[in-house]
Amino acid sequence: MVIIDKYKGNKIGVIGLGRTGMSAIRSLLSGGATVIAWDDNQNAIATITSAADQANLIIDSISNKILIINPEQNTYIDQLLVSPGVGISPPKIHPIVQLAIENKTPIISDFDLLAEACPHAHYIGITGTNGKSTTTALIGHIFQSLKRKTEVGGNIGTSVLSLNHLQKDGFYVLEASSFQIERLKHMRFNTAILLNITPDHQDRYNSFEEYAAAKVGIFNYQTSADHAIICTDCPISEQIYLKLKQTSRAKIIPISTQQKLDHGISFLDGKIHVKLDGINDSYMVDDLYYLPGDHNAQNVTASFAAAFLNGLNPEEIIKATLSFKGLEHRMQLVAQKGDLKFINDSKATNADAAAKALQTYDNIYWIAGGICKDHGIEPLSHLFHKIKHAYLVGRASDQFAEILAAHNIPHTKAETLENSIKLLKESSPSAGVVLLSPACASLDQWRNFEERGNAFCRMADEF
């Protein structure tokens, strides 16, 4: 945990009792602040006040300072820390944020607090619509493999104030969502990466342009000593690259997996090409067994660039990359029986996410279904030719079966994951890919997608 003591004796408001809010509360109370916390969800409050670990409400609110949760009336606060899931601007501004703005109460964020508390560490920030978690985890893996003191957190799941305190020999590798970036007031990323931008989170922004602008904020406080790495394969990020080249003080490094750049870092035909001032080198990358697909090539290139520009040895970076086993539950190769591979993509809880897996593999035994959250699997029909057989589970079975039947795709309503694997085994497939990429939430049959993915891993192992 990073202790925040700059607000000793102050009253700090915190909105949201999730991962960000709870770790901020611990850091602030430990540093001597009084905390007044809000959450709109009564269940969140009940869970916190009853859970064993919080029983004494964070060790009696770190002995002396007071923690008040959901005050009856408006209470004076010196600063307001807002969790990323809570809106800070229209169309989804939270009423407490609105009140704070009217009262001129400064709004603060956990990322900025980390940067202030650990000013000498290096900061690597990663954003983009897709691939940012894999890239964050891969960069973390590379730096840790090469024995650099490294902490990995942010949107990937670990709130930044719960990470360990780092000094000047340390690297924070932080996945930053648009929500986290839009509330930064001074965090300077020594290395900032923008992977791609496509429409997302449309409920929180007035327009796509506004969402894209939030992401570009990752470069805001960079200086001439810093690197801005931008993938130019995506048309929107290419436009941003061209604009930043004119306006930013940072060293702008384009990366691509589609064209060999005259200046920048490209990954083509199994080689990473580095063409930067005074450098013109290429490095072989063997089969990216655990990181298949075009989208992963982009993640690998960005990670290589971040590590290379921070002075790590290129051959060692590639060696570490090849030993990265991927993120759990995301197109994760979990077993191989002869020529039959088992891929756990349980995190694919919507059709868009499942599309990436279907694009990546061929000869697929597809396990799909659960609670369908969007327009179903019709938008995936251009990928159906890759499916050898589909096993449909959970509530969406009938709906999915109808769509697959209309496209003449062999399928079985298997009801459960376990039965899907049993039926598959009976058909004795010798080659191909058994893909759990449900395009659905898991909650009709599982506690969460992790439980579903772990069950699949066990079944794959025993196959």
Residue 83 binds to ligand UMA (criterion: CB under 6 A) = yes
Question: Which position among 30, 33, 37, 84 is part of the footprint of ligand UMA (CB under 6 A)?
Answer: 84
CA distances from 115 to 86, 126, 169, 217 (A): 21, 15, 15, 16
SS3 372: coil
Closest CA to 132 of 157, 163, 96, 162: 157
Residue 109 binds to ligand UMA (criterion: CB under 6 A) = no
Residue 154 binds to ligand UMA (criterion: CB under 6 A) = yes
Nearest 5°: the CA angle 152, 244, 229 is: 30
Binding mask 29-68 for ligand UMA (x = CB under 6 A): ----------xxx--x------------------------
Residue 86 binds to ligand UMA (criterion: CB under 6 A) = yes
Least distance to ligand UMA from the beta carbon of 83, Å?
Answer: 3
Residue 211 binds to ligand UMA (criterion: CB under 6 A) = no
- Ordered strands of the 34-38 beta sheet: 67-69, 34-38, 11-15, 79-82, 107-108
Count of residues engaged in binding ligand UMA, rule: CB under 6 A: 21
Residue 20 binds to ligand UMA (criterion: CB under 6 A) = yes
CA distances from 254 to 198, 303, 448 (A): 18, 13, 38
Residue 322 binds to ligand UMA (criterion: CB under 6 A) = no
Residue 177 binds to ligand UMA (criterion: CB under 6 A) = yes
Of all residues in the shown chain, the one whose CB is closest to ligand UMA is 85
CA distances from 418 to 285, 286, 393, 451 (A): 37, 35, 10, 13
Q: Which CB, 139 or 261, lies closer to ligand UMA?
A: 139
Q: Are strands 264-268 and 271-276 parallel, antiparallel or unpaired?
A: antiparallel
Residue 85 binds to ligand UMA (criterion: CB under 6 A) = yes
What contacts 67, CB < 8 A, 6 or more positions away? 25, 29, 34, 35, 36, 37, 57, 58, 61
Q: Which CB, 86 or 297, lies closer to ligand UMA?
A: 86
Residue 94 binds to ligand UMA (criterion: CB under 6 A) = yes
Residue 410 binds to ligand UMA (criterion: CB under 6 A) = no
The two tokens of residue 248 are 């930013």
Instruction: Give the range of 77-85, 206-214, 345-353, 375-383 binding ligand UMA by CB under 6 A.
Output: 77-85
Q: Which residues bind ligand UMA (CB under 6 A)?
A: 16-21, 39-41, 44, 83-86, 94, 154-155, 157, 159, 177, 179
